[in-house]
Structure 1
């Protein structure tokens, strides 16, 4: 009876798991969360991006933003135990827009700052880049630190749901991005820059500051 019960139990779980993974979207989520996360993270205890001598704890994340990156990111933050004012250091080519916006909301809700780059074993920042959907995650920072040599890249977000008019769908997507950026205190000029190109446009430091995308420019040494 015990063996029969176990077979039925695990058989039922297996069938349910199969159903849960029967669509490409579900499999992408499970794979990104449990099998091979598209992003990696490292805790840095003493990061000093503005060279003020006041080091702060940071979570450095790198990689493409995947289908489950927002859930993964919350778990990494919980483990790192970052406090308000601590830093999320990111370097990413972009990826899933909805996941990146959720990541930005989480960053803002926890009162964290953001910066673009990578860090070595001693906590020294190296320039990096944050493009496409990564920019919306970066925008979630309560303070958005500029790093000399790092780059922010934007482009138009498109949506191609089956049966939908591509122009109307793209306009709606950009409307969501505009609403999000406005909520985060970023000028609508950044969405204008996004809308102007399908390819990545790398913003200059003065452009990023003028759009209030970067709120705390690091002075050149």
Structure 2
């Protein structure tokens, strides 16, 4: 009995000690390395970096930075060279700063005098180096659909931009007419000359408003060319191909090639060339 009681006292003393004093082994919380419970070995001390390694790392960083700066300089120089060209500046100016054309949306236009009104986008001014992009944006804002009209009033301008504008008009199934609107919203006669005629030709239906005029002349290139004659022939072939696809007679290209000054086509002549497909009386 006394032996048993002493044993219980010893156990109680051990329990009290465990509650009061944390075990010393908790101070070392390193994971055991093996099945025998041996502690993981301490990692070896890392030697301090050598001066050669530090200088090599700095050299690699400097080389990378220098290469990046060199790339920026090359790209910047190329961009400056491209943007400093007159045609590049003309493009940005026409697109963002001072567009050559203006536009207005007519909710109910009657260009053919049929009494059937339709939305129309009236554009006027010179066709500039970025007018095709400008024109596409204006069409998007106007939400025109096939059968709606584009009303033109322009002395002409950039040939390539005019070709693109005509292609856009044809792809959307729009109608073209030459005229302007007065303050009351009525359509009045106007004129469309030079490159504007190419835009007009893009119409699925080309309305000829009485009193409006279509003027043609020979197209010339303003950019330097090694062979101006060959360049003129190439331009004439491009215009002929375009007009043929639009359903216009080749005689209009012959009329263009015959003069350097603007030649105003008569109403009957424009109809005979199939340039005007829907002639109407003076509004």
- Say whether the fold is shared (TM-score over 0.5): yes
Residue 150 of structure 1 aligns with which residue?
212
Query: Matches of residues 8-157 of structure 1 in structure 2 within 5 Å?
Result: 15=76, 18-157=80-219
Q: Which moved more, 1:156-165 or 1:124-133?
A: 156-165
CA distance in 1, matches of 2:154, 2:128: 11
Question: Would you say 1:174 and 2:236 are equivalent positions?
Answer: yes
Instruction: Check whether the contact 1:84–1:112 (CA below 8 A) recurs between aligned residues.
Output: yes
Deviation at 1:18, TM superposition (A): 3.8
- Which structure: greater helix fraction? 2
1:140-199 alpha-carbon deviations (Å, 9 max, x no partner): 000000001100000011125424221111111001000000000000010010011000
Residue 4 of structure 1 aligns with which residue?
none
1:52-94 alpha-carbon deviations (Å, 9 max, x no partner): 1111100000000000000000000000001100000000000
Residue 188 of structure 1 aligns with which residue?
250
CA distance in 2, matches of 1:162, 1:36: 26
Structure 1 unmatched ranges of 5 or more: 1-7
CA distance in 2, matches of 1:20, 1:69: 20
Number of matched pairs: 211
RMSD between aligned residues? 1.9
Instruction: Check whether the contact 1:45–1:123 (CA below 8 A) recurs between aligned residues.
Output: no
Cα distance change of structure 1 residues 220 and 67 upon mapping to structure 2, 3 Å threshold: closer
CA distance in 1, matches of 2:89, 2:83: 5
Instruction: Check whether the contact 1:160–1:169 (CA below 8 A) recurs between aligned residues.
Output: no
Q: TM-score, normalised by structure 1?
A: 0.90
CA distance in 2, matches of 1:46, 1:170: 42
Cα distance change of structure 1 residues 44 and 171 upon mapping to structure 2, 3 Å threshold: same
Q: Secondary structure at the match of 2:203?
A: coil
Q: TM-score, normalised by structure 2?
A: 0.71
CA distance in 2, matches of 1:160, 1:64: 16
Cα distance change of structure 1 residues 69 and 184 upon mapping to structure 2, 3 Å threshold: same
Q: Which moved more, 1:149-158 or 1:46-55?
A: 46-55
